[in-house]
Structure 1
């Protein structure tokens, strides 16, 4: 299994900037979590039950015995195991042929049952979304541009494409026109889950985030996707100290999307008022809605 791509590294922060807390299941731009893509443990490959093999059949007269594969469907399924004919009694060869025919019929029935079970698996509910090769070109962050008018000339992006998962990543440096380095960062991520429904794990991870991460607040957000959560950590004090972190995580069918904002207020001038958590939350909601509409296009 190849090593999944890691989120791109960000420009170096000033030495006095506090370390940004790590967010599970999605990493912050500054300190990506270890493990699989986006901080998740590496996903186990999806498996499916294969086509049942032919039932154990008796040995015909004059034919050497052939080993038969073990079939769990024969031992546990609704069909009886077909055994060899009785050792005594006349017509051994004819009975062997009869048993072989019965075994073949039951094997065909078991194969049909296996195909039915496999075909009954849910199709991925992707809602028309597609994962672009460059998510930065599809991430709307116009709400942040009044605060950060200087465009990032080289945002970083990455793409993973697999039978089980399509994943697009984007990291953008937010900069005020008077700043010499980035004042904040915006990180977006889109996942198209093509084999498994992410709903239960998504809810468990984000709804209960504060239970395993001290200092974070979690708020359920309505009106965006099937479910959405705002996770935030605000340690600011005044306009020149502390940090502000906020992530809006959305699930729409089998598609998940996150937009994360992080800022270090030590990078702001004392005469400049940085955005508040309430303002950042409004930016995230507005731009996430627009981005998802464009990606669903």
Structure 2
């Protein structure tokens, strides 16, 4: 009976050399230890044979046989990891199988990630309808209809913007003042969102069409002739010129672009010599000025 070939011997470390790190995340599976690694019984080391030793490809050069750990030699380390895509070398025991499945899982995860990156062209279905997001939305907001009631210009409107691969968002806050008013009599808020990665349609419809279901006291009316879909959401609690409040928002979706123009006024502090605007008046202003602003925001 012929003697099976022995794996190459590793040189003994010099005296006083520090212990070398192990390539395994737990004790060497071939080192006998009570209970074995991870609580499993220790696996008996299998004697290598010419038929059972798999030669693994390396990054450079011909196929070589990876050196095997030597029983009783803590400095003997396994060879380099196989190239991505190569089958992992056979290992013994449950702990060895855990290493094998971890390696397979890593390769599968890497392949799935790569497929996701290359099979989904970025921006292939984006529908922005020619809109662009200005750096200062206040400069592009047309609110001429409201100025018939609020003639004083807001000298310090506030604006903000967000630019990202997935979303461009700009907004503007305007204080509406009647001539001679020291403080704002009402407020106008405008926001434009350019969705560049996802279609906002389903969520936009769910949010605004059903607004009255999630917000008590609000009314929702469908508006035609502006974008692909639009909704007027309002809450009118006014009972006279000196009490209550009026809130109204026109929400518009045009392709993957969403837009809102919102009006709010608290009539308890409304200083005027005539009745404040009604909901019908404010609704008409929102529609007229939104059409004009959206036209301004198209390239």
TM-score bracket, normalised by the shorter chain, equals 0.5 to 0.7
Using the size of structure 2 for normalisation, the TM-score is 0.63
Could you say what the CA RMSD is over the residues aligned between the two structures, in angstroms?
Answer: 2.9
- Kept after mapping to 1: 8 A contact 2:56/2:82: no
The answer for the alignment partner of 1:186 in structure 2 is 188
The one-character-per-residue Cα deviations of 1:96-151 (angstroms, maximum 9, x if unpaired) are xxxxxxxxxxxxx9999767622286432111111111100000000000100011
1:144-183 counterparts in 2 under 5 A? 144-183=146-185
2:150 alignment partner, SS class: coil
User: Residue 201 of structure 1 aligns with which residue?
Assistant: 203
Structure 1 segments, 4+ long, off by >4 Å, are 65-71, 109-116
Question: How far, CA to CA, are the matches of 1:260 and 1:243 in structure 2?
Answer: 13
Q: How far apart are 1:261 and its partner, in Å?
A: 0.2
1:59 maps to what in 2? 56
Higher relative contact order (CA 8 A, sep 6+): 1
Could you say which residue in structure 2 is the equivalent of 1:247? 249
How far apart are the structure 2 equivalents of 1:137 and 1:156?
Answer: 11
Match of 2:225 in 1: 223
CA distance in 2, matches of 1:213, 1:274: 25
Task: Supply the distance in 2 between the matched residues of 1:137 and 1:158 (Cα, whole angstroms).
Answer: 12
Q: Is the 8 A contact 1:240 1:270 kept in 2?
A: no
CA distance in 1, matches of 2:203, 2:181: 40
Question: What is the distance in 2 between the residues matched to 1:235 and 1:277?
Answer: 10
Secondary structure (helix, strand or coil) at the match of 2:282 reads: helix
Which residue matches 1:16?
A: none
How far apart are residue 255 of structure 1 and its match? 0.8
What's the TM-score, normalizing by structure 1? 0.63
Equivalent position of 1:263 in the other structure: 265
Pairwise CA distance, 1:248 = 0.4
Q: In structure 1, list runs of 5 or more residues that go unmatched.
A: 1-56, 72-81, 85-108
User: In the TM superposition, what whole-angstrom CA distance separates every residue of 1:26-56 from its partner, at most 9, and x where no partner exists?
Assistant: xxxxxxxxxxxxxxxxxxxxxxxxxxxxxxx
- Displacement after TM superposition at 1:221 (Å): 0.9
Report the structure number with the largest CA radius of gyration.
2
Kindly indicate whether the alpha-carbon contact (under 8 Å) linking 1:58 and 1:83 is maintained by their aligned counterparts in 2.
no
Which residue pairs with 2:127 in the alignment? Answer: 125
Q: Does structure 2 retain, via aligned residues, the 8 Å contact 1:59–1:66?
A: no
SS in 2 for 1:230: strand
Structure 1 residues 111 and 239: CA distance shift in structure 2, 3 A:
closer
2:55 and 2:210 mapped to 1: Cα distance?
Answer: 58
**Larger CA deviation: 261-270 vs 276-285:** 261-270
Tell me the distance in 2 between the aligned counterparts of 1:266 and 1:69.
75
Counterparts of 2:64 and 2:257, CA distance in 1: 60
Q: 2:138 aligns with which of 120, 136, 139?
A: 136
Aligned residues: 209
